[in-house]
A = this chain, B = another copy of it.
Amino acid sequence: MSLDRLIEKIKETENPSVVGLDPKLDYVPTFIKEKAFEKDGMTLKAAAKAILTFNKGIIDAICDVVPAIKPQAAYYEMYGYHGVKTLYKTIQYAKEKGMFVMTDGKRNDIGATMEAYATAHLGTTLVGEESIDAFGADALTVNGYLGTDGIAPLLKICKEKDKGIFVLVKTSNQSSGELQDLKIGDKTVYEVMGDMCEKWGAEDMGKYGYSGVGAVVGATYPEQLEEMRAKLPHTFFLVPGYGAQGGGAAGVAKAFDKNGMGAIVNSSRAVMCAYQKGGYDEKDYALAALNEVLRMKKDITDAL
């Protein structure tokens, strides 16, 4: 267990950012959609195939300059089991291209059921005598509301398979404070959750000083980012909310340690929909995504 493979990919690409692949059908260029509809009609199957084509185009364009992708499960489930097949194929394609894949599923449940989620997304499923990757991601986002026995099954599989998790600590949305900012004694709920991340991660530390248990801390709350960076020295941060949600580079810089490590910043819509801005032909959506990714890399690394 650890996030060392992710950290190494970040060093290799000199880019602490991740592209969120949250592909609504609206984001997919018309020429891709039309071709899919022609073949399979206006069906979930056609939608799912169009999204896969779109994702592959983006992955091809960015795989040498971005260390990781973060597909968001919701946008695949929206297209039913066909969409979930596209999630699987997207994960496999990105891995073939050498990328680190973090499935954003925010999964959570009690022991035996959490074991099934861990097996599904990070482990291998036993069928008769065969062990098979059901999805085969490198990391999974999870929700720690159920406490240690909702996390322990993940830690076991992370150790066995050299994979990691990211636990929701302080989310990027406006109402995140309704529960997360409330005080338990002299700590907030998100601080309590952060402390649990340090505790869960202590079992197996990676060689760069970060454990396999990361935390999700939103770019939209720079003060909390800075505070949590100081308090959770062994917890790697996944930082959503940069760009479309309003988080800026100066803010996200606070997620990093003094060596410019310890965090990865996500951008989804701004990359996927880059072609819709700035006068691109929709056929050049992948080039537009690449340009946005390079702009973002410079924006963040300049701020570090």
Contacts and interface: CB of A to CB of B under 8 A. Distances in A.
A79 B125 contact: yes
Interface string A192-218: 110010000000000000000000000
Contact of A175 (B33, B116, B117, B150): B150
A189 B184 CA distance: 9
Given A79-B134, A147-B175, A113 B74 contact: yes
A47 B116 CA distance: 14
Nearest to A184: B182
Interface stretch (A83-91, A227-235, A270-278): A83-91
B120 A74 contact: yes
A24 interface: yes
A109 interface: yes
A144 interface: yes
A22 interface: yes
Size range of the chain A interface in the assembly: 35 or more
Contact of A135 (B47, B77, B109, B114): B77
A280 interface: no
A76 B287 CA distance: 37
Nearest to A89: B81
Instruction: Please give the count of copies of this chain that the complex contains.
Output: 2
A88 B79 CA distance: 11
B117 A74 contact: yes
Which of A72, A125, A132, A174 has the most chain B CB atoms closer than 10 A to its own CB?
A125
Nearest to A115: B74
A116 B24 contact: yes
Contacts of A175: 146-150
A127 to B, nearest CB: 5
Contact of A77 (B33, B116, B133): B116
Contact of A116 (B42, B74, B150): B74
Contacts of A134: 44, 77-80, 83
A15 interface: no
Interface string A158-199: 000000000010011111111110111100010011001000
Nearest to A190: B145
Nearest to A241: B110
Given A22-B113, A78-B116, A173 B150 contact: yes
Contact of A127 (B44, B81, B148): B44
Nearest to A152: B175
A46 B127 contact: yes
Given A47-B125, A72-B109, A147-B176, 7 more contacts: A43-B130, A74-B114, A74-B120, A80-B120, A108-B108, A179-B196, A184-B184
